[in-house]
A and B are shown apart, each in its own frame.
Chain A
Amino acid sequence: MDKLKLIIKREFLAKVKNKSFIVMTILSPLLMVGLLLLIVFLNQKNSEEVRTVAFVDESNLLATVLEDTNATKYIDLTDLGIEEAKKQTEGNFYGLLFIKKSDSLINLSKGIQFYSEDTPSLNLLGSLENKLEKKIRNLKIEQLNFDLDKIKATETSVSIATENFAGEKSSKIGSILRMIAGGGFGYLIFMFIIIYGTSVMRSVIEEKTSRIIEVIISSVKPFQLMLGKILGNAFAGILQFIIWAISAGLLLTIITYVFGIETTSSGTAMGQINPEMIEQMHASSASELQVALQEIKNLPILTMFFSFIIYFIGGYLIYSSIYAAIGAAVDSETDTQQFMMPVMLPLIIAIYVGFSVIENPHGPIALAFSLFPLTSPIVMLMRIPFGVPWWQIITSMLLLIGTFILIVWFAAKIYRVGILMYGKKPTYKELYKWLKY
């Protein structure tokens, strides 16, 4: 036991003291934050830009909807006539909206054009279309002598409330939350396995190429060394993830603090335009927030937490021992390719299946891959937030543990033989032979 501790400590320190580890740990949150800041900054720059749109409204019916907003100003060039207005607009304004005179409201909608130097922004076009459609529709209603207010009163919005048979309410937000929770956990395991599995493999190869391996295994059992390596790397990885989580949280708070003030100020600016709408938005977002909170409470958090721990440990140990065996079988990292493919395949399948699982969490594909031990750590975790029967979770975990024992046993055998084999790239047939040594 003492030796295992020594090995874990050495592997941990070797990993943590490594320059690339330090750089990665410190730099990646900064990079992420920097990227985030850049996006926010660019977005703001974009929205700060004010576009001036000129218009010629020959019909004299629609100009009223073209009200100035923060992002867009409108200039009435109707008096100049379309040809002169085009000349004036070119080089001076963002674009020119031309509403052709027409005999009827029906034809009016067909004679609207937008002139601009470049392809105009889809957002702007969309909002213009929206405004004009609404206005023309209202005009038509008026022309038909319908009571506009009465028609408005018939407008209805339906949002279907869903509830399962046990009486738990759910909502779309809930589904999204579940997707995020499950997907996040699954993806975390995926990333961890790939990053730290490879790191275990590198460390095995390093011991082989530096020829220290025989000195060490004359003092400790090869299995102890392999296990110590796997655990040491895992602890380094957990430390890195914790540092990332803390720094990400810290930086996010700082960012929301800094930018939070700005959002409220722009919120009040918007409030001046249409106070009613804002109020409505607030009301709806408040209720949605409540629903979301309720949904978070409804998530099987305890199950998720414990199954995350079990699948994390099981999945990492299975894959990292395979990685260790690969490292032992080869002489250099360039030789690992042929063995990496079969390892990466189930992981990648798991992530892809994971996405379809979110669509259909209880389908046959979801069930199969959440039981299959090489994909279950990822797929089952993505399913659990949607509610999985206990027998499935338990079967999947038992399969995972069984496979884990089997694979670690095989990997340890290959490892034990492989670390003392130099100079040749083994085939699968040879690996099979090693199992019998």
Chain B
Amino acid sequence: MKHILTVENVSKNYGNFTALNNVSISVPKGSVFGLLGPNGAGKTSLIRIINQITLQDKGSIYLDGELLQPEHVHQIGYLPEERGLYKSMKVGDQALYLAQLKGLSKSDAKKKLKYWFEKFDINDWWDKKIQELSKGMAQKVQFIVTVLHTPKLLIFDEPFSGFDPINANLIKDEILKLRDEGATIIFSTHRMESVEELCDYIALIDKSKKILDGKLNDIKEEFKTNQFEVGLSCENKDLLLNEINSNFSTTKSDKISFNEDVRLIVDLKSTESSKDLIKFLNNKAQITHFTEIIPTANDIFLKAVANNG
């Protein structure tokens, strides 16, 4: 089985409001899958359906090839965006409680909690109450509780909110480690730089519909605009610009680096290749910089949502 999770034609309505409209996604095993979309697009609705918190009106969901069933909650770990812990309950007690709700035995849960508490160096928090901890500390406990029962599928909704950069990095490393150990991660966020860093696959949901999905690299390839950024050194700047502009369409780049005369972004037509551009430029001036402009996840997000508009 290639996919850990398959969502087929899922729709969900709340009264007259359509939260999800015929959404299908497939999450490959062992990947980090970015579930992206603007606020109110339907991401949380989809995540709640996968967690069986709400039921879809239409469509079906398969976990590891099996139709989703109540017992499957033990194989899923979910860190919701709106998350918290009991304020007046001791950290250890509620970690144990939540772990047991996920189907772990008490002794098992204790053993695993000990491992994670030692790993995060928070052993002395066991008897503290949540109200005595800072927000970041509580988030750490929540992360542990989410991953404790070694689920096949982990769903993180904005996992880095509330963490300082050091701890965010710690959590990021742990997420990647979990993937390497065989878990699949669905990752929902608005922080595009972390999508860039972590995700192998993405799906983009906008206005209750899926508008884009696939391997991040493939999507980038697809969204490539055949643009190149070039830096040139020459004696007669104006002459050079004239010559380039008569052959290619260009825009001025906002960056000019040290000892460069010209910095341009060149749009190539689909019939032209980078080879032609290099050849042309090489004859006119000294090339100091040449890169293909690859769209960032942020660019893709903005463009796709704007197109869907």
Chain A residues with CB under 8 Å of chain B are: 3, 6-7, 10, 14, 18, 206-207, 210-212, 214-222, 416, 420, 422, 433, 436-437
Contact = CB atoms under 8 A, between A and B. Distances in A.
Point out which of A7, A221, A222, A437 has the most chain B C-beta atoms below 10 A from its C-beta. A437
A225 to B, nearest CB: 9
B265 to A, nearest CB: 44
Contacts of A222: 53
A207 B76 CA distance: 21
Contact of A214 (B76, B82, B88, B100): B82
Nearest to B48: A420
A214 B97 contact: no
B84 A211 contact: yes
B73 to A, nearest CB: 6
A10 B97 contact: yes
Contact of B76 (A7, A216, A218, A220): A218
B15 A212 contact: no
A333 to B, nearest CB: 15
Interface in B13-56: 14-15, 48, 51-54
20 contacts: A3-B101, A6-B97, A14-B88, A18-B88, A206-B86, A211-B83, A215-B78, A215-B80, A215-B98, A216-B101, A217-B53, A218-B51, A218-B52, A218-B53, A218-B73, A220-B101, A221-B70, A222-B53, A420-B54, A422-B82
A218 B54 CA distance: 10
B87 interface: yes
B102 interface: yes
The 5 closest A-B pairs by CB, nearest first: A211-B84, A219-B101, A214-B80, A210-B84, A218-B78
Interface string B66-97: 00001001001011101111111100000001
B110 to A, nearest CB: 15
A210 B85 contact: yes
Contact of B86 (A6, A14, A217, A220): A14
Residue in A215, A216, A217, A422 with the greatest tally of chain B CB atoms within 10 Å: A215
Nearest to A220: B101
A6 B101 contact: yes
B84 A219 contact: no
A331 to B, nearest CB: 12
Nearest to B14: A437
A6 B98 CA distance: 10
B72 to A, nearest CB: 11
B145 interface: yes
B184 interface: no
B142 interface: yes
Contacts of A3: 101
A11 to B, nearest CB: 11
B86 A212 contact: yes
B220 to A, nearest CB: 33
A214 B98 CA distance: 12
A3 B73 CA distance: 12
Contacts of B83: 211-212, 214-215
Interface string B94-112: 0001101110000000000
Contacts of B76: 218
A215 B142 contact: yes
A7 B79 CA distance: 20
A359 to B, nearest CB: 48
Given A219-B73, A437-B14, A210 B48 contact: no
B295 to A, nearest CB: 34
Nearest to B82: A211
Nearest to B100: A6
B14 to A, nearest CB: 6
Contacts of B142: 215
Contacts of B15: 433, 436-437
A214 B101 contact: no
B216 to A, nearest CB: 27
B20 to A, nearest CB: 13
